[in-house]
Amino acid sequence: MMNAGDVVSYLEMCADFGVNLQRGMNFRLVPGQSLILMSLRPGAPYADGVEEGGKVIIYEGHNLPLTKGGPDPKTVDQPEFLPSGRLTQNGLFADAVRRFKASRAEPERVKVFEKIRAGIWVYNGVFRLVDVWQETSDRRQVFKFKLEILDQLRDLSAPSIFRIDHDRVIPAAVKIEVWKRDKGSCVKCGSKENLHFDHVIPYSQGGSSKDAKNIQILCLRHNLDKRDRIE
């Protein structure tokens, strides 16, 4: 079972869904479960953001695909419909929000993965898709989606060793700083497999997600050994 904070490769991320992920927005890859890929790195193609101490993600919709002889995707409004009249990924996610707001459906559950460097992703957890709007950016209309972290993500029926604190998304800058500092390996044993961003002092005990000194990389074995105790 994947836990928020786990570090995964592109292939591991694809294997979790059994498909090759070719786009950032993926509505209902499996029944009742959608997926988005985000990035907060400098130069990222979309203006994603994290708010309210990591509880909320503001995710930008995606552009019209680049086609030979077509317009520059960054100069036209982000589309809700395909030329055929079918919904784009923007449209599918927006329609899910509208159905939720009309009390016709529960909020869409969305798994969120964040890119921290080439080929390296962090699983940020499961979020509820609760709002959508359009706003002007560089004289064109873009979609913005609001996602709230699902505090109930933990499987409370599972043994306590699997209950990893994840109530806040660790800021991208902190993840990148910690990844470089710990050289992409477990600080306990040097393993580069099954890695996880861990709070030295758990968030539930007052530890900060915003201070790189309170975040370390652990492998699965040492992460589970640590549990929630303060070392």
2 within domain boundaries = no
* pLDDT at residue 164 in the model: 41
Q: CB count, 10 Å around CB of 156?
A: 7
Element containing residue 107 per DSSP (H, E): none
Taking CA atoms, 160 is separated from 215, 218, 219, 220, in Å, by: 21, 18, 17, 14
Domain C-terminal end among 164, 180, 210: 164
Does residue 72 form part of some domain?
Answer: yes
Residue 148 shares a structural domain with residue 182: no
Q: What is the pLDDT along the chain (231 residues), one digit of tens a residue?
A: 788 889 988 888 888 788 888 899 999 987 878 999 999 988 899 999 998 878 899 999 999 988 888 899 999 999 999 989 999 999 999 999 999 999 999 999 999 999 988 889 999 999 999 999 999 998 999 999 999 998 644 433 333 333 444 446 788 888 989 999 999 999 999 999 889 999 888 877 888 888 899 999 999 888 888 764 555
Q: Are residues 99 and 200 in the same domain?
A: no
Percent of the chain at pLDDT > 90 equals 53
Same domain assignment for residues 178 and 72: no
Q: Which positions ≥6 away from 16 have C-beta within 8 Å?
A: 2, 8
**Cβ atoms 166, 4 nearer than 8 A:** yes
What pLDDT is attached to residue 187?
A: 94
Do 47 and 73 belong together in one domain? Answer: yes
Whether residue 86 contacts residue 78, with contact meaning beta carbons closer than 8 Å, is answered with: no
**What is residue 32's predicted lDDT score, i.e. its pLDDT?**
77
Q: Are residues 52 and 80 in the same domain?
A: yes
204 and 105 inside one domain: no
Amino acid identity of residue 76, one-letter, is V
Distances 116 to 2, 36, 132, 168 between C-alpha atoms, Å: 18, 15, 25, 17
Last residue of one domain, picked from the residues 145, 164, 183: 164
CATH of the domain at 85: 2.30.280.10
156 DSSP 8-state letter: T
Cβ–Cβ < 8 Å for 175, 6: no
On whether both 132 and 187 belong to a single domain, the answer is no
Domain co-membership, 143 together with 82: yes
On whether residue 174 sits in a domain, the answer given is yes
3-state helix, strand, coil in the chain (%, to 5): 25, 30, 45
**Predicted local confidence at residue 181, as pLDDT:** 94
Domain check: are 213 and 155 in the same one? Answer: no
Shared-domain flag, residues 86 and 176: no
Domain end among 128, 149, 164: 164
Nearest to 100, CA basis, from 49, 154, 155, 147? 147
Q: Are residues 194 and 127 in the same domain?
A: no
- In which residue are the tokens 């928020």 written? 4
Residue 199: give the domain boundaries: 170-231
* 60 located within any domain: yes
Number of domains in the chain: 2
Q: Answer yes or no: is 1 within a domain.
A: no
Q: What is the DSSP string of 189-214?
A: T---SSEEEEESS-GGGT--SS-GGG
Task: Assess whether 138 and 212 both reside in one domain.
Answer: no
Predicted local distance difference test score (pLDDT) of residue 168 = 65
